[in-house]
Amino acid sequence: MAQIDDLPPLREVIAAHGLNAKKSLGQNFLLDLNLTSRIARSCGALDDCTVLEIGPGPGGLTRALLAAGAKKVVAIEKDSRCLPALAEIAEHYPGRLEIIEGDALEIDPVAVTGGGKVRIAANLPYNVGTQLLINWITTPDWPPFWQSLTLMFQKEVGERIAAEPGSKAYGRLGVLAGWRCKGGILFDISPKAFTPPPKVTSAVVHLVPNQTPLACDLKALERVTAAAFGQRRKMLRASLKALSADAEALVEAAGLKPTARAEEIDIAGFVDLANTFKTAGAV
């Protein structure tokens, strides 16, 4: 295992502070510093930016980000038990680590990072990871406040983010991510790398903003994809009736086949569909 700094091994840190992972917080601590260093390198250049980290736990990825040269890391941690361990890292890297106790779902990421170049990196807690991603890729202001997202999810979620039309994993999340971002899965991580080991394989996903996504009303796209994939086995003329009594005509007006199913429609097709429904006042 790599030695990236002079701080104690993570297993010793966890034992010293009594940091047994809590299932209620979706915690699985990644202890392999080779892997945390690989994740940090995957973020891109860090010496001129602030890295926002969610759920640092005992600080394995935090240490890797700082050792990789991050100008500053802002770490949001909900579990107060982890704060003393993180404080030790802050002392080791003076002036470069800011620790915020709180729930990332309730904290304004723009306010805590203070503007400038921001990259987001995290071993996301399983129970809030998808919602955080949706928040970041559906922000009204675009291009967003962040330059890249390097995030760990359950592999199943990672596959949904990177899914292409026609695949079983393709759905609303893949459309939203593919509309506004470029990227995908970088590599998988075995359950054995974590303490305690989760029951599933994890995947590290890297996304960068698409600076000029196809013009589309975000709320319309969200409603259209929610309706279409909410009844994905049905044809569009049936699944979109919740949005319009004349769904078939509107689907045709968008240049799509009313008999097509949601998983057959690419991102450009969903954009056309959302714009057509929006113009017609259906959403």
**pLDDT tens digit sequence for 80-115:** 999 999 999 999 999 999 999 999 999 999 999 998
Position of tokens 């903003």?
Answer: 209
Cβ neighbours of residue 38 under 8 Å, at least 6 residues apart?
187
Predicted local distance difference test score (pLDDT) of residue 3: 74
Predicted local distance difference test score (pLDDT) of residue 1: 47
Which structure tokens are listed for 201?
């394989």
Predicted local distance difference test score (pLDDT) of residue 2: 56
Q: Among the listed ranges 113-127, 209-223, 234-248, 258-272, which one has the minimum average pLDDT value?
A: 113-127
- Name, of 3-7, 26-30, 47-51, the range with top average pLDDT: 47-51
Cα separation, 180 vs 177, whole angstroms: 6
Q: Where are the domains of the chain?
A: 10-209, 218-279
Query: Residue 198 above 60 pLDDT?
Result: yes
Cα separation, 262 vs 238, whole angstroms: 11
- Ranges of beta strands (E only) in 48-172 are 50-54, 72-77, 97-101, 118-123, 148-154
Phi/psi at 270 (5° precision) = -70, -35
Question: Whole-prediction pTM value?
Answer: 0.94
Q: Is 77 annotated as a binding residue?
A: yes
CB atoms within 10 A of CB 42: 16
Q: Name the CATH topology of 218-279.
A: Helicase, Ruva Protein; domain 3 (1.10.8)
Q: Is 123 annotated as a binding residue?
A: yes
Predicted local distance difference test score (pLDDT) of residue 211: 95
> pLDDT of 150-167, one tens digit each?
999 999 999 999 999 999
Cα separation, 240 vs 227, whole angstroms: 6
In whole angstroms, how far apart are CA 52 and each of 6, 35, 199, 248?
A: 23, 18, 27, 45
**Percent of the chain at pLDDT exceeding 70:** 99
Is residue 55 a contact partner of residue 104, using CB atoms and an 8 Å limit?
A: yes
Which structure tokens are listed for 87?
């404080």
Q: Is 20 annotated as a binding residue?
A: no
Predicted local distance difference test score (pLDDT) of residue 33: 86
Average the pLDDT over 8-17 and give the result: 93
Q: Is 210 annotated as a binding residue?
A: no
Tell me the CATH number for domain 10-209. 3.40.50.150
Q: Among the listed ranges 24-38, 78-92, 112-126, which one has the minimum average pLDDT value?
A: 24-38
Predicted local distance difference test score (pLDDT) of residue 25: 74
Q: Is 159 annotated as a binding residue?
A: no
pLDDT band at 127 (very low <50, low <70, confident <90, very high): confident
Q: What mean pLDDT value characterizes the chain? A: 94
